[in-house]
Amino acid sequence: MENIFLFIFLFVILEVFELWWQKAPTLYEILENIYRYYQKSIFLVFLLHPTIYLSIYLMMISGYNIWTQIVFGLKLSDIALKLMFVKKFFLDQEQIDIQTKMMLSMKVENWMLYMGVVFYPLCLYMGFIN
């Protein structure tokens, strides 16, 4: 049981690290932060998302519990969506329609950024107590 809390604490620390390097006032600036590392190497972007690797490990040691699969799926879709937007807006230089521009220029509240720090560990805890 102590190991579970250690893994969850480690997950929270790594999630805060991910927030730290991506943090920006708007979604577009978050994508710019990701693109800055993407220009150096796409592998660097994957290395800067350490919770995906920890979620794979936790999923395996939990016996592929549904809660840990949810965390892994959400983390994977989060990274894929961010990379898709980076490719679309920065690499392909596609024209951004007005609705998307408005969405990307909206201010991101701090509580929105920290939802993952609360949600993911709760899901992991649910997965390990079953």
Query: Domains in the chain: how many in total?
Result: 1
* Nearest CA-CA partner of 19 in 42, 51, 56, 61: 51
User: Considering the chain, what is the average pLDDT of its residues?
Assistant: 93
Containing structural domain, residue 109 = 2-129
pLDDT, residue 44, reads 96
Over residues 51-73, the mean pLDDT reads: 95
pLDDT, residue 1, reads 65
The residues, ordered by sequence, that sit 6+ positions from 44 with a Cβ below 8 Å of its Cβ are 37, 38
- Residue 81 is classified by DSSP as H
72-124 pLDDT per residue, tens = 999 999 999 999 999 998 988 878 888 988 998 999 998 988 999 999 999 99
Over residues 59-66, the mean pLDDT reads: 94
Report the amino acid identity of residue 130: N
| pLDDT at residue 54 greater than cutoff 80 | yes
pLDDT, residue 118, reads 94
| pLDDT at residue 42 greater than cutoff 90 | yes
